[in-house]
Structures are given as structure tokens and as C-alpha cells.
């Protein structure tokens, strides 16, 4: 059985005694049935990855952990921000889960002319939980940042100004070149695609069009396909 991973956003120091409570403690004690002396991993979502042991228990909703060893895990290179329209229903959850496993540094929701799904009242809390569970499952020490929704051309312009290579998935694009080590922004449109005027504005901002093949892919499939080319090449 693999060592379970839990999340503490307060940070931790080697040798320190820290408290695990709330939902993370319930998962550790009520679901995983951890006991005194059991080893666990802890992440803070900002690159810190620690080995700890359970030192004491207080019922099933709190435990004291002794931090044994801490490593700072560098963020994957190239640093990739994924910018997409919001996929429908559970497909969006699937995309965030897989994108987090593949190591994005942030996800940027796009306000497209043809967008159907919108940001809801509790969307960010739900998306944060999905990304966190994907981090814990995959062993990643980096929790993706969830950025505020914005128009595609504004997102492309800001990324180019920051020195990122901006790649726009489009049927008329060139083959994807995975040799560049530049940090990236990957842009995926809604189910109906970006409008012609959106594409012109995004390209005018400095983006390059890239092709994902002949098939018309759903948002989550296109996003994971493009991400995987850089992570698995």
C-alpha cells in the first residue's frame, strides 16, 4: 500500500509537532485508519513535501504528527498554465483532475463568445477540492492556482507580456513543437471553438496556433492531449 498523503496549508518545519484536524484528519483516522507510529506524507501545495509519523491521536478528528524530513520539490518545467473554457458537468472535474496530475501551475477559466458553462457560486471551492485530491493521489507537492475568469485575448496578452509561449489549439495550426523550454500558456476553446474574431485577437496578442490532429476533440480531451505532449515528451 502506498504511503497516504495529506494537505496542510499552514506550513511545517523539520522536527516540529503539528496538528492534523478537520477533513484531512477524518480521512487519515476515520477512512485510512492510521494509528500511532504510522508514516504519512504531508504537502503544503507550494512545493514542500514532508515525511511525518503519527505521534498521538485525539479521537477520530485530530492527530499530532512529528515531521521527520522535509524536501522542497521544484515546480515542473516548463511551467504550464492551462487556459480553457469551462467544460460541462463532470467533464470539467475530470479535466482538472487529469491536468493537476500532469503538473499545471495554474488553471485559467476563459470567458469565450461561445461559452455555455459559467462560473457558479461555489465553483472555485469545488475545483480546489478536485485539484487537491489529484495532488494527493499523484504525489504532487504543487497545488494549481485557480485564476479569475477573463477574456481569451486578455489572457493571451498578459502571458505574452510575461514571456510565456502562448499556444492556441486550432484546426489550422502547425504541429506542436515540444522542443521549446519556455514557460507556456495553453489555450483551449469551448465546444463550438473560438470565434473567428476571437482567434484573430488572440493571435494578434502573440499566440501561435497549434493543431491537435484531424479529430474535433472535447475540451477536456484537447487539454489533456496538449498537456501530455509537453509532460511525456
26-45: average pLDDT? 87
Mean pLDDT of the chain: 93
The residue extents of the domains of the chain are 5-72, 80-231
| pLDDT tens-digit map of 105-152 | 999 999 999 998 888 889 999 999 999 999 998 989 999 999 999 999
Q: How far is CA 135 from CA 140, 159, 218, 230, in A?
A: 5, 25, 24, 19
pLDDT recorded at residue 198: 98
Q: Are the C-beta atoms of 51 and 4 separated by less than 8 Å?
A: no
3-class secondary structure, 92: helix
pLDDT recorded at residue 96: 98
Yes or no: domain 80-231 corresponds to CATH 3.40.50.880: no
Q: Are the C-beta atoms of 131 and 100 separated by less than 8 Å?
A: yes
Q: 61 or 206, which is more confident?
A: 206
CATH class name, domain 5-72: mainly beta
pLDDT recorded at residue 139: 87
Q: H helices within 66-195, ranges in order?
A: 90-101, 123-138, 152-161
pTM above threshold 0.75: yes
pLDDT at 233 over 80: no
| Gap between the Cα atoms of 209 and 216, Å rounded | 15
Left if phi > 0, otherwise alpha if psi is -120 to 50, otherwise beta: which for 213? left
| pLDDT tens-digit map of 151-203 | 999 999 999 999 999 999 999 999 999 999 999 999 999 988 999 999 999 99
pLDDT recorded at residue 20: 87
Amino acid at each position: 500500500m502506498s504511503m497516504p498523503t495529506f494537505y496542510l496549508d499552514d506550513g511545517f518545519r523539520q522536527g516540529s509537532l503539528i496538528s492534523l484536524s478537520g477533513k484531512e484528519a477524518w480521512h487519515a483516522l476515520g477512512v485510512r485508519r492510521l494509528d500511532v507510529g504510522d508514516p504519512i506524507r504531508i504537502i503544503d501545495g507550494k512545493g514542500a513535501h514532508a515525511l511525518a509519523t503519527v505521534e498521538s491521536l485525539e479521537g477520530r478528528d485530530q492527530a499530532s504528527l512529528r515531521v521527520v524530513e522535509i524536501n522542497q520539490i521544484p515546480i515542473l518545467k516548463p511551467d504550464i498554465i492551462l487556459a480553457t473554457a469551462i467544460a460541462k458537468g463532470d467533464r470539467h472535474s475530470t479535466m482538472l483532475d487529469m491536468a493537476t496530475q500532469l503538473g499545471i501551475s495554474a488553471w485559467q477559466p476563459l470567458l469565450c463568445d461561445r461559452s455555455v458553462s459559467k462560473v457558479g457560486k461555489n465553483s472555485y471551492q469545488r475545483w480546489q477540492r478536485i485539484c487537491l485530491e489529484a495532488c494527493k493521489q499523484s504525489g504532487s507537492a504543487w497545488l494549481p492556482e485557480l485564476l479569475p475568469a477573463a477574456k481569451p485575448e486578455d489572457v493571451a496578452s498578459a502571458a505574452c507580456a510575461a514571456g510565456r509561449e502562448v499556444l492556441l489549439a486550432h484546426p489550422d495550426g502547425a504541429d506542436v513543437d515540444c522542443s521549446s523550454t519556455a514557460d507556456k500558456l495553453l489555450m483551449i476553446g469551448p465546444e463550438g471553438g473560438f470565434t473567428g474574431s476571437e482567434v484573430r485577437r488572440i493571435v494578434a496578442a502573440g499566440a501561435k496556433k497549434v493543431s491537435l490532429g484531424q479529430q474535433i476533440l472535447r475540451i477536456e480531451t484537447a487539454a489533456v492531449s496538449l498537456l501530455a505532449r509537453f509532460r511525456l515528451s
